[in-house]
Chain A
Amino acid sequence: GEDVEQSLFLSVREGDSSVINCTYTDSSSTYLYWYKQEPGAGLQLLTYIFSNMDMKQDQRLTVLLNKKDKHLSLRIADTQTGDSAIYFCAETLGGFKTIFGAGTRLFVKA
């Protein structure tokens, strides 16, 4: 079936790297996404990766895609207190169907 799984919580110290992991089930996914949700706000796209890529880097963010294991990760370098939020992994199966994970709540300790 279609499911996107993430761990619910992650706690890191300010300045450390954060790695948020996600597994998905549909190997035909076209794009995979990371969204960020701050308290009381909607989801904001952080980055996405096309399914034929292995890695994408964008400033402090690095996305790694392991298609064989259906594993997606988001690494945030030099994590700041402003990075505290909920991070959602999502996959799109083409058409209009995007499946979201339950979200990982990142706590950054000063």
Chain B
Amino acid sequence: NAGVTQTPKFQVLKTGQSMTLQCAQDMNHNSMYWYRQDPGMGLRLIYYSASEGTTDKGEVPNGYNVSRLNKREFSLRLESAAPSQTSVYFCASSGGTADTQYFGPGTRLTVL
């Protein structure tokens, strides 16, 4: 089992460019999440998908869109990147004991 995988690992964008961050899990989990991690602020939830076919906003959804492509895959799209979106992005999934979440290795995004 690979667990939760994310691509790319690193990305540099110019302001206004768009990109999609990919996430896949092979644990047959129903729920998937996108977080951003900024220094001194912990993790903040951007969007989540409780099950295939549903998506909901989290704490900081502005500037992002998501797609739950199938049970395995959950992508995050930045339509017009801004410097405030420079961050490390983590995908997670859950569906097992105690609602524990399993995290991918992260994507480090820099917007110039």
Report how far A77 CA is from B43 CA in the complex, Å.
27
Inside 8 A of B40's CB, which chain A residues have their CB? 8, 102
Q: Which A residues fall within an 8 A CB radius of B?
A: 4, 8, 30-31, 33, 35, 40-45, 48, 50, 88, 92, 96-98, 100-103
A100 & B104 in contact (Cβ 8 Å cutoff): no
B90 & A96 in contact (Cβ 8 Å cutoff): no
Report how far A98 CA is from B99 CA in the complex, Å.
9
Inside 8 A of B99's CB, which chain A residues have their CB? 30-31, 92, 98
Contact of A102 among B33, B42, B104 (CB under 8 A): B42
Report how far A103 CA is from B40 CA in the complex, Å.
7
Contact of A96 among B31, B43, B100 (CB under 8 A): B31
A45 & B43 in contact (Cβ 8 Å cutoff): no
Q: A30-B99, A45-B102, A98-B45 are in contact. List 11 more A-B contacts (CB 8 A).
A: A4-B42, A31-B100, A41-B106, A42-B92, A42-B106, A43-B43, A45-B100, A88-B43, A92-B99, A96-B31, A96-B50
Inside 8 A of A92's CB, which chain B residues have their CB? 99
Chain B contacts with A in 32-64, Cβ cutoff 8 A: 33, 40-43, 45, 48, 50, 56
Contact of B103 among A8, A42, A97, A103 (CB under 8 A): A42
Inside 8 A of B2's CB, which chain A residues have their CB? none
Report how far A96 CA is from B30 CA in the complex, Å.
11
**Number of chain B interface residues as a range:** 20 to 34
A100 & B43 in contact (Cβ 8 Å cutoff): yes
Report how far A98 CA is from B48 CA in the complex, Å.
11
Q: Which residue of B lies closest to A44 (CB)?
A: B103
Bitwise, B84-112 to A at CB < 8 A (1) or not (0) is 00000010100000111111111000000
Least distance between A41 CB and chain B CB atoms (Å) = 6
Report how far A102 CA is from B50 CA in the complex, Å.
24
B101 & A31 in contact (Cβ 8 Å cutoff): no
